[in-house]
Structure 1
Amino acid sequence: MEAQIPTSSPSKTPAKRSLINSLMEATTPTKNYGVDSPSFKEDTYVLSNLKQSEKRSLVELRNKLSSSHSSQNPTMWNIPLLPETDKSDVILLKFLRARDFKVCDAYEMLEKSLSWRKEFMADGILEEELGFKELEGLVAYMHGFDKEGHPVCYNAYGVFKDKDMYERFFGDDDKIKKFLRWRVQVLERGIKLLHFKPGAVNSIIQVTDLKDMPKRELRVASNQILSLFQDNYPEMVARKIFINVPWYFSLLYSMFSPFLTQRTKSKFVIAKETNVAETLYKYIRPEDVPVHYGGLSRPGDLLNGPAKPASEFTVKGGEKVNIQIEGIEAAATITWDLVVGGWDLEYSAEFIPNAKDSYTIAVEKPKKLSSSDEAVHNSFLAREAGKLVLSVDNTASRRRKVAAYRYVVRKSTLI
């Protein structure tokens, strides 16, 4: 079985990028908002890669911890911090990295975090039923992995633009505290997927959807979440991807900025509404990106194991692309998924039999798909040998778009 993607129409001259587009498509906020931090480079936690001064800081931090906990071995995420092990090294290095390898500052941060976890009862939080079922998979949730194996956590607070929803979850201090506890629970689920080993996956990816986010109403809760995570989960996030960024993001950023370290800011990736899928595809394979963000992953898909890989391609402005899936035998059923980031183009599917005296079958008639449409999922029973052609017509647009597809063919007993 073979799929080909020939291009059938020449592309038009691409539209010139405006200054705003260039800024919004930047992968870090260094040029956007005046943050003078270098681009983020994730720590490998391999001791041989450390500078001599950093190795000394690690030894000093462990010695201070040993002196203050001589009668009790502290643990974090069920990992004993003493004696020296690969896993304890990873945790201690996270605190050191967060404090620029200043031992006293890292030790103070570590001790405060140990106290907070005990007071907050964070170690048992995964077993709690906090009553947020309706927010699962909607507001904050773990979903799949990025291309490097990092677990991905999605965050979207647009649902709280509804005043009734806001009052139900943020109406008073007790509700905010309960929501904060649930948000920690979601993060702890992601951390449970980490390896805590040198050179392995030791952090997560956070994707935050800013669409319809009620920034004023969520200020108190957002500040508490940011402060708590930064104080107690150092270096747990490899990259922070902001999507559906509104025009007022600079104001939002200035509000959060005082609560963020320069190293945290250097992890930011920013995507406006028109290039959400394109941005996510840089870090996450399309089969792992949720359908409502321009991917192929639907709720429940990951419960059946790893997703079937998809093939990525691009559709230039003014171009029509035909995906030809050849070698389909008679009595075979072909099932396919197709998505184009942002859509706003025409899609159709047809089956072309090999026999010259047979007629082409319109499996899906040409139809306009809007930016709000999710991935196409369809199947077709071929009663004779031939090929399936999926057409993506972007000739009415001047904007380049990312796309992905996958398919499976199964022999059927029916004719």
Structure 2
Amino acid sequence: MAQEEAHKTADVVVTAAEKPMTDKEVTVPPPVAEKDVTPTVASGEKAESEKEEEETVVAEKVIVPSPEELEKKALAEFKELVREALNKREFTSPAPVKEEKPEEKKPAEETKGEDKTEEKKEEEKPEAIKLEEKTDAVAPAETKSEEKEAVSATEKDSSVEEDGTKTVEAIEESIVSVTPPENTVVSEAEPMEPEEVSIYGVPLLQDERSDVILLKFLRARDFKVKDALTMLKNTVQWRKENKIDELVEEASEFEKMVFAHGVDKEGHVVIYSSYGEFQNKELFSDKEKLNKFLNWRIQLQEKCVRALDFSSPDAKSSFVFVSDFRNAPGLGKRALWQFIRRAVKQFEDNYPEFASRELFINVPWWYIPYYKTFGSIITSPRTRSKMVLAGPSKSTDAIFKYISPEQVPVKYGGLSKDIPIATEDTVTEAIVKPAAKYTIDLPASDACMLSWELRVLGADVSYGAQFEPTTEGNYAVIVSKNRRIESTDEPVITESFKVGEPGKIVITIDNQTSKKKKVLYRFKTLPISDL
């Protein structure tokens, strides 16, 4: 019966499996949900990745520091390195080479003593081994005399111990003799006081003005802090070797060649160098005199640097250099070019970033090969971009482009000289056309002393001046008769007239040449009570 029931259940199962399924039972859900899920996940990942990229881009934009921040960061790092160097006395003190040598020798002597003791021990070890071998060989043969051998062994051990104590004492004696005295250890342990270093009359890190000086060294080395520190150390050492602080107090005889006069339009002090003075053969007679001239040039540079304002980065802490090559010696004067190369090298290495602009005026035709040689010496593109070259016909215009005429000396085409009119009084420029006249009116509203300066670039014109009163019926007064101004005459005309009534001074410039002329003039009135 059980078998039959099993067969029935099996049949039932089989029939259930073989039973065809109706349409209602076949309800397979379409995989729509699966298709929808996968793209949503991918789109979500893409959105997240895009957001991350945007955040990274924004972060990169925010992280990039400005040039001012980079400058501040470099200055802070530079000041920290300078502080460490001052604490270690690395600027002026020589390296303690002599003190390190005995310290290196002492451990060597100790090692030698230890090597000797080790050699002694090694030499003693084989002897002990030989003694043990001999005792081992004799032991089986001499069985009867064990007590005698024990006594002899104890005697030998005592002798070995005595030898060991002797070697230990020898080692201790050698170590005691090598140990350094206590005084030297105490002197080395004492902390070194930081040194005080001044440059251009400003103490490093002890004055706010030193920040401007340190920035100059950083700019000269493209804000590479370690290179700037090396440059600063070399400058301090150079100043010490050449006694620059003492050189400032010395007198000199070369004022005609190099001098400081006035300021440019931005307020920088202007230094003029006249290389025509190098025609003097006595200057090249020996190296001592040429070195003396170079020292004086450094002295002038140092005096001008110390007069600068280092109180803030916005202050004018650099110069405009004007080099005049009128009547300068030719290429045959090797001493001149050697001097120029040497001076340029020393100024770039020890007075970095002190040149706001360099004007080379009255440049002759042979200056081109000189410039190629001179330019190759200057390695900094920053310095090369500050140089301006002008021939004899364009020198005055080049100077007036950067320096106002009232600040330019008379010998270089300006109006600056010892006169009642101050350099602060502005200069007016005018152009006189070819074959034409030009008049200038200088008004005077009350009784006063009226003074004026006038210069015609290129000369070859006629000049005249008269006073014309405002009141009708009064006669005009001739102040200066019409006269021809030649190129050999005094270039600057300076005149004054005491005015007793309201009126004006009328100046007439007559240009009968075929070239236009530039006129520079300025005037000033002083009350009669101030005279």
Q: Into which bin does the TM-score normalised by the smaller protein fall?
A: 0.7 to 0.9
In structure 1, list runs of 5 or more residues that go unmatched. Answer: 1-47
Decide which of 182, 205, 230 is 2:348's aligned counterpart.
230
TM-score, normalization by structure 2? 0.62
1:317 corresponds to which residue? Answer: 433
d(CA) in 1 for partners of 2:443 and 2:431?
21
1:246 corresponds to which residue? Answer: 364
1:113 corresponds to which residue? Answer: 235
Q: CA 1:224–1:215 in 2, change beyond 3 Å: closer, same or farther?
A: farther
SS at match of 2:233: helix
In structure 2, list runs of 5 or more residues that go unmatched. Answer: 1-64, 88-193
Out of 58-67 and 238-247, give the one that drifted further.
58-67
Q: How does 1:191-210 map to 2 (within 5 A)?
A: 191-196=305-310, 197-210=312-325
d(CA) in 2 for partners of 1:313 and 1:69?
54
Q: CA 1:328–1:275 in 2, change beyond 3 Å: closer, same or farther?
A: farther
Matched letter for residue 302 of structure 2? E
Q: Deviations along 1:163-216, whole A, 9 cap, x unmatched?
A: xx232x232111111110000111112112211122111111111111111143
d(CA) in 2 for partners of 1:225 and 1:305?
36
2:205 paired with 1:82: yes
2:467 paired with 1:351: yes
Q: Deviations along 1:316-335, whole A, 9 cap, x unmatched?
A: 432532111223546x4322
CA RMSD of aligned residues (A): 2.6
1:143 corresponds to which residue? Answer: 261
Check conservation: 1:351, 1:363, Cα contact below 8 A. Answer: yes
2:94 corresponds to which residue? Answer: none
2:302 paired with 1:188: yes
Check conservation: 1:345, 1:392, Cα contact below 8 A. Answer: yes
Q: CA 1:356–1:402 in 2, change beyond 3 Å: closer, same or farther?
A: closer
The CA deviation at 1:288 is 1.6
Check conservation: 2:463, 2:482, Cα contact below 8 A. Answer: yes
The CA deviation at 1:385 is 4.5
1:20 corresponds to which residue? Answer: none
SS at match of 1:194: coil
1:259 corresponds to which residue? Answer: 377
d(CA) in 1 for partners of 2:441 and 2:429?
13
Matched letter for residue 119 of structure 1? E
d(CA) in 2 for partners of 1:409 and 1:322?
23
Rg larger for: 2
Q: Choose between structure 1 and 2: higher helix proportion.
A: 2
Decide which of 204, 216, 220 is 1:94's aligned counterpart.
216
The CA deviation at 1:371 is 4.4
Check conservation: 1:274, 1:342, Cα contact below 8 A. Answer: no
d(CA) in 2 for partners of 1:293 and 1:195?
27
Q: Deviations along 1:76-127, whole A, 9 cap, x unmatched?
A: 11212225x5411111111111111122222221111110011111123221
1:294 corresponds to which residue? Answer: 413
Q: CA 1:203–1:154 in 2, change beyond 3 Å: closer, same or farther?
A: same
The CA deviation at 1:361 is 3.2
Out of 343-352 and 173-182, give the one that drifted further.
343-352
1:37 corresponds to which residue? Answer: none
Check conservation: 2:469, 2:476, Cα contact below 8 A. Answer: yes
Count of residue pairs brought into register by the alignment? 354
1:61 corresponds to which residue? Answer: 78
Matched letter for residue 345 of structure 1? V
Decide which of 270, 281, 297 is 1:166's aligned counterpart.
281
d(CA) in 1 for partners of 2:225 and 2:330?
37
d(CA) in 1 for partners of 2:318 and 2:522?
29
2:481 corresponds to which residue? Answer: 365
Check conservation: 1:278, 1:401, Cα contact below 8 A. Answer: no
Q: Choose between structure 1 and 2: higher strand proportion.
A: 1
Q: Deviations along 1:280-322, whole A, 9 cap, x unmatched?
A: 2222222221111222211x56xx9952403322214325321
Q: CA 1:148–1:182 in 2, change beyond 3 Å: closer, same or farther?
A: same
2:521 paired with 1:399: no
1:408 corresponds to which residue? Answer: 525
1:276 corresponds to which residue? Answer: 395
- Percent identical residues: 37
2:504 paired with 1:387: yes
Q: CA 1:370–1:264 in 2, change beyond 3 Å: closer, same or farther?
A: farther
Matched letter for residue 389 of structure 1? V
